[in-house]
């Protein structure tokens, strides 16, 4: 009987100490782990739209990033939000140093599933690659210069995305030309 009590109490104490030390470690590492995960999510998006730049400098907090590849300036990344068909669309896109688009990613949206929601598909997003500012307009809005095909049945969503990319780039270029960076 005494053995029995001793076994149980030893196990109990060991488990208690283990649980206590783990609680302590968890308390210490909880913050860094959460922030790592968040940073990783963000960096994954930044990497994708910038065609694998390896360094990102947040020039305008959470709006504009300057990208570097092997220490060389590679372009910019923009985060912007626009009113779509049924709600705000948040998107991130990158440009290279010549101002051509390197990638687009829709971070969040509430467009109609099956129609406007197709702005997240690679088929729609890949059209923007290597397009320059003046080409960033729907073909149906400007048959001469336009290079972007609207999604069938979702012209408003497509136009919102295209327009906001264009206007973001325009205002960025204007600011840069004005020198008030």
Partner 1 sequence: MSQTSFRSLLKELTKGFLKENPILVIMLGLCATLACSTSATDAFGMGLAFSFVMLGSNIVVATIRKLVPSQVRIPVFIIVISTFVTIVDYSLKAYFPALSQSLGVFVPLIVVNCIVMGRAEAFSSKNAVMASLMDGIGMGIGFTLIITVIGMIREAIGNGTLFGHQVMSPQYQPFLILILPPGAFLVIGFLMALHRKIMVTFYKP
Q: Binding of partner 1 at residue 98 (CB under 8 A)?
A: no
In whole angstroms, give the CA distance from residue 81 to residue 88.
6
- Per-residue interface string for the shown chain with partner 1, residues 34-63, x marking contact by CB under 8 A: --x---x-----------------------
Given the structure tokens 């705000």, which residue do they identify? 88
Q: Which of 29, 72, 83, 108 binds partner 1 (CB under 8 A)?
A: 29
CB nearer to partner 1: pick between 45 and 100: 45
Under 8 Å between Cβ of 99 and 93:
no
Under 8 Å between Cβ of 111 and 85:
yes
CB nearer to partner 1: pick between 13 and 59: 13
Under 8 Å between Cβ of 169 and 102:
no
Q: Which of 1, 22, 153, 155 binds partner 1 (CB under 8 A)?
A: 22
DSSP state of 148: B
Q: Binding of partner 1 at residue 3 (CB under 8 A)?
A: yes
Q: Which range in 28-36, 64-72, 109-117, 156-164 contacts partner 1 by CB under 8 A?
A: 28-36
DSSP state of 175: H
CB nearer to partner 1: pick between 54 and 145: 54
Beta bridge partners of 60: 64
Smallest Cα–Cα separation from 94: which of 71, 111, 110, 74?
74
Footprint on this chain of partner 1 (rule: CB under 8 A): 3, 6-7, 10-11, 14-15, 18, 21-22, 25-26, 28-29, 31-33, 36, 40
């Amino acid at each position: 009987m005494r053995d029995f009590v001793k076994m149980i109490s030893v196990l109990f104490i060991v488990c208690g100490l283990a649980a206590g030390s783990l609680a302590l470690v968890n308390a210490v590492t909880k913050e860094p782990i959460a922030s790592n995960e968040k940073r990783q999510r963000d960096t994954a998006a930044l990497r994708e739209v910038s065609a694998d730049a390896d360094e990102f400098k947040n020039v305008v907090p959470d709006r504009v990033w300057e990208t570097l590849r092997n220490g060389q300036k590679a372009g910019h990344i923009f985060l912007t939000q626009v009113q779509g068909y049924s709600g705000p669309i948040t998107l991130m896109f990158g440009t290279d140093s010549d101002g051509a688009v390197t990638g687009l990613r829709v971070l969040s949206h509430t467009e109609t599933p099956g129609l406007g929601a197709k702005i997240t598909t690679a088929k729609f997003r890949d059209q923007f690659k290597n397009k320059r500012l003046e080409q960033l307009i729907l073909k149906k809005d400007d048959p001469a210069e336009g290079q972007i095909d609207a999604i069938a049945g979702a012209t408003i969503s497509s136009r919102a995305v295209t327009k906001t990319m264009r206007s973001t780039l325009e205002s960025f270029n204007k600011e840069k030309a004005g020198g008030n960076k």
